[in-house]
Amino acid sequence: MVKNFSFVKRLLWYLRNPNHWNHFFFAIKRRFRWLIVGREKFDKSIEAEKWCKEMKIADDEIIRNTTNSDSVALPSDLVNYIEEKKKDLNSADVVLGDEGNLHLMYNLIVLSKANRIIETGVAFGWSSLVILSAIKNSNGRLVSTDKPVPDKETNRYIGIAVPNDLRENWVLYKEADISGLEKAFKLHPSYDLCHYDSDKSYEGRMRTYPKLWKSLKPGGIFISDDIGDNMAFKEFAEDIGKKPYVSHSITSAGDRYVGILVKDSI
């Protein structure tokens, strides 16, 4: 009964928000495919995780191979802030995912001198926080997209980890990838680095990956979270003929894999 009520609540929310209808119909179409084919058969998550295990290398090696530099530590004040903020949010009855590989993210930005960055998926805003901290002294800009959810209380927590003093260089579109990225590309046609952390389905990734890759400048870095969920990242890397780098970490949710690709320089 509760599950049915939740579905009805989401359906009514979408009906009242026509600007999210494209995402809604895309999600419905995806659900029908899963019912017909079977999600595991379609996503091939077992095969994807096996590939990730075979491909994973140390973060320091990824950083050297992609930036030609040795890794640096996160600033102590940033680490302290994250720990304190996590304690505050632990008391909130809201689940929006974990913080991801912040050390890798920070290094790829700082050492590649990425200045203009785009990300899909914000949640609490841990990656947004690290990105904005990494570019705060270079007058850079972060453009983020994140789809709102029917629950107003949950929406209030989107990006809450980002303090006010870092928000000046942040543009946040609370929209799904379809419409949010359209606005992001109108604001800035090209970016130095992109971070994909939104729709984790195979279809969602394969629809959005090419758009983000196209927006990258020569030498730009492409990052995608949770690539062990399905074969999308592996297949996309093969499609564009780029060597994939795979990072592995262990979180409260288990093994986590992050994929990195680098665009050719001119």
Q: pLDDT tens for residues 105-125? A: 999 999 999 999 999 999 999
CB atoms under 10 Å from CB of 196, counted, come to 27
- What's this model's pTM, rounded to 2 decimal places? 0.86
| Domains assigned to the chain | 2-262 (3.40.50.150)
Q: Which amino acid is at 35?
A: L
Query: Are 147 and 174 a contacting pair, CB within 8 Å?
Result: yes
Query: Are 226 and 259 a contacting pair, CB within 8 Å?
Result: no
Q: pLDDT tens for residues 2-52? A: 344 365 666 665 666 666 656 665 666 666 665 655 555 556 789 999 999
pLDDT at 59: 98
C-alpha to C-alpha distance for 214 and 209, rounded to whole angstroms: 9
Q: pLDDT tens for residues 230-255? A: 999 999 999 999 999 999 998 777 88
